A and B are shown apart, each in its own frame.
Chain A
Amino acid sequence: MSKIEYTSVEGKSPAYFALLGSLGLMVLIGLLSAYYMEHHGHHVTGMTNQIVWGLPHVFAIFLIVAASGALNVASIASVFSKKIYEPMARLSALLAVALLAGGLVVLLLDLGRPDRLIIAMTYYNFKSIFAWNIILYTGFFAFVGVYLWTMMDHNVYKFKKYAGFSAFIWRLILTTGTGSIFGFLVARSAYDAAIMAPMFVIMSFAFGLAIFLLVLMASYKWTGMELGDAVLRRLRNLLGVFVAAVLYFTVVYHLTNLYATQHHGFERFMLLDGGIYTNVFWIGEVLIGGLIPLAMIYAPGLKDNRTSLGFICLMIILGGMAKVYTILIAGQAYPMELFPGYEVSSSFYDGMVNSYSPSLPEFLLGISGMAMAILIVVFALKVLRFLPASLADAVVDPHAAK
């Protein structure tokens, strides 16, 4: 393979500034929403003492999970020595860092006391998986930062393999940690399952790659640089495997619950009569996020069709959000089994399915996390050389070129 030439985007066109400006505006609106929520208290949100984590957490967890998955392309190149992925490793690492930053900002701004960030960074309870996650997130920035440095500076290029390997291990631990936030919750029927950790890892593969593909295609389309089919074919097939794997884990999770009588109530709620949550599960998570994209990925008629690939990625992102929504919100909406064998009622909503109506500021804060991630990427592409000047088939894979 010939030496890859990297370039930065010119970033002087009105379209570039329009993109930068609109993303900046979304971030600003998100920050204002967060200020509004903090000033008035969470009273102005749809969150309650029953649904304690709401829409901002859905966005934040989705972004954090996707972040580690976005690093996949780089990992496949550095750790598994697949040359065709090598040119895209820089973009992959950049996107990973940007998505994590976006997710963490949302997570932080949804705290009851975001002003106490310094306490979160200085007081650690090492039995808490949440505390470990704070270390894992910070470490991810450090590892991927160093990895990017080894990729972009010829003086330290020889360390790239080690840096890539460390980042790969770290991202696996990170997503295991994110999944364990739920896996370690013994109290609730929806959680308390070891499968949460590997399921989150596989979710990260799918969500991260879907976002990566969209960013990749948009970057090359808008800059007019060449992006060959060879790369996209590989990534598309990989995406199919990941989406199928997410479905597999979903099936195993629910099958295990269906086998245990004590979880029948929750499964009935989730799969049959949970109203909005049942719909989000079947339509959002299974159909839009799983079966339809899977069918489209492997449909012979859509091979090399980039528009369809764009839609597939969008569906996986929407379905991924739906999946995080069902895990997070439906898991809290279903009443906790405090007294097995009894019907319970109280002034504190015991025994009731809890309702949740997200408020506009919550949504605006959440979506601003996504905007921030993309904003970081758009800006970074201008100041540093992340993009290969060409990803034409002949450049990335001479053997495949005709």
Chain B
Amino acid sequence: MKKPVTTSMNGSRRNFISKAAAVGTLTVAPGVFLHKAAAAELEVEIVEIDIVEPDLNTSRSTRPLDQDVSNKNRWGMLIDTNKCATGCTDCVDACNQENGLEGKTGPQDTQYIRKVTLKSKSTGHETSLPLMCQHCETAPCADVCPTGASFVRADGIALVDKHICIGCRYCMMACPYKARSFVHEDIKNQKLSAPRGKGTVEACTMCVTRVDNGGLPACVEACTAENHNAMIFGDLKDPDSPISVELRKRGGKQLRSDLALNTGVRYQGLNE
């Protein structure tokens, strides 16, 4: 991958060039000015270099679609808040596009994913991060749902069965991440891959259709495509998947870890 890198010369290199120029003056007098001009030009140089970044999103579903979802996989995400820029909404925009959401932000409007700005009360340090359904293993939404419409798939993706959701909203009361929205009015222009329904509850599906087809969630894809690389998607149960390797190397935090929900979404860089 080509990446523009700005460099400035360090002291020893500058010294070397000066010395080379001095030697040049002694040997080839007419070239002195040429050398000096070259040295001045080298003060700051823009170099195009190749950085080979490992593709961190190689862990994908390989399950044939005619086979049942199993607990061999646990799909998850790792978000590096240090790479997540305040004000950037690429993931949010991609999610809205993917799920046919209008992107309105009124109190009754649906938001599957939102950017949250955190400011540490003790240090004033500011962090920005995307927040969506955390796809808990023991999800409070699924626990409290009277009909079982809210459920967690064997591979860890929390979903709402919109055919049996009665719209009681108890899951919204129970979700510690405020990740769910209620459809308050008629919906137009729905996407075939992301059905919605007035009077039912909805949330991030981890782009389950994409995942099942071996793809990435739209937010992760957008974040990677724009070269922010703040989000990694993958199989938490595969010890060799980039997400597992990264978690082993640098760790990751679960939000509201005190609730012991074993979330599928983890965060790095949440320092006070």
Within 8 Å CB of B147, what residues of A?
Answer: 119-120, 123-125, 131
Other-chain residue from B108, B165, B256, B272 in contact with A49 (beta carbon distance below 8 A)? B108
Does B111 lie within 8 Å of A112, measured CB to CB?
A: no
Q: Smallest CB–CB gap between B263 and chain A, Å?
A: 12
Contacting A at CB under 8 A, from B192-244, are 198-201
A382 on the interface (CB 8 Å rule)?
no
List, in ascending order, chain A residues with CB within 8 A of B140's CB.
Answer: 185-187
Q: In the complex, which residues of chain A have a beta carbon less than 8 angstroms from the beta carbon of B175? A: 187
Which of A112, A120, A129 makes the CB contact (< 8 A) with B183? A112
Contact: A49 with B172, CB < 8 Å? yes
Q: Which residue of B lies closest to A346 (CB)?
A: B116
Q: Are B108 and A338 in contact (CB under 8 A)?
A: no
Residues of A within 8 A of B182 (CB): 42, 47, 49, 52, 112
* A-contacting 9-mer, from B30-38, B71-79, B119-127: B119-127
Q: How far is the CB of A291 from chain B (nearest CB, A)?
A: 31
Q: CB within 8 A of A120: which of B109, B142, B146?
A: B146
A16 sits at the interface (CB 8 A): no
At the interface, yes or no: B43 with Cβ under 8 Å from chain A? no
Interface size on A, residues (CB 8 A): 50
A48 contacts across to B, CB distance below 8 A: 107-108, 184
B14 interface hit (Cβ, 8 Å): no
Q: What's the minimum C-beta distance from A356 to chain B, rounded to whole angstroms? A: 9
Q: In the complex, what distance in Å separates the CA atom of A124 from the CA atom of B201?
A: 18
Contact A112 B199 (CB under 8 A): yes
Please name the residue on chain A nearest to B255 by beta carbon. Answer: A338
Compute how far the CA of A52 lies from the CA of B145 in the bound complex, rounded to whole angstroms.
15
Determine if B173 and A185 form an interchain contact, defined as CB atoms under 8 angstroms apart. yes
CA distance A91 to B180 in the complex (A): 44
**Does B118 contact A43, Cβ atoms closer than 8 Å?**
no
Q: Does B166 lie within 8 Å of A116, measured CB to CB?
A: yes
Q: Which of chain A's residues 311-365 have a Cβ closer than 8 Å to chain B?
A: 332, 336, 338-339, 341-350, 354
Given contacts A41-B199, A113-B166, contact A123 B119 (CB under 8 A): no
Chain A positions 223-266 with a Cβ under 8 Å from a chain B Cβ? none
Nearest CB on B from A29, distance (A): 22
Question: Do A128 and B105 touch (CB < 8 A)?
Answer: no
Q: Could you tell me if B105 and A347 are in contact, using CB atoms closer than 8 angstroms?
A: yes
Decide if B167 is an interface residue (CB 8 Å cutoff): yes
Residues of B within 8 A of A40 (CB): 185
Taking a contact as CB atoms under 8 Å apart, the answer to whether A111 and B168 are in contact is: yes
A397 at the interface (CB under 8 A from B): no
Find residues 147-183 in chain B having any chain A CB closer than 8 Å to their own CB. Answer: 147-149, 164-170, 172-178, 180-183
Contact B199 A348 (CB under 8 A): no
Quick one: closest B residue to A356, CB to CB? Answer: B107
Closest to A191 in B: B173
Contact: A112 with B169, CB < 8 Å?
yes
The answer to whether A336 and B167 touch (CB under 8 A), given A134-B146, A344-B116, A346-B131, is no
Q: Is the CB of A112 within 8 A of B168?
A: yes
A184 at the interface (CB under 8 A from B): yes
Interface residues of A (CB under 8 A from B): 38, 40-43, 47-50, 52-53, 111-114, 116-117, 119-120, 123-125, 127-131, 133-134, 181, 184-188, 332, 336, 338-339, 341-350, 354
Q: Sample 7 A-B pairs with CB under 8 A, ordered by A number.
A: A111-B168, A112-B167, A125-B145, A127-B144, A128-B145, A134-B146, A344-B116
Query: Taking beta carbons and an 8 Å cutoff, which residues of B are in contact with A?
Result: 105, 107-111, 114-122, 127, 131, 140, 142-149, 164-170, 172-178, 180-186, 198-201, 255-256, 259, 272
* Shortest Cβ-Cβ A-B pairs, 10 listed: A112-B167, A112-B199, A187-B176, A48-B107, A43-B185, A130-B146, A123-B147, A125-B148, A41-B185, A131-B146
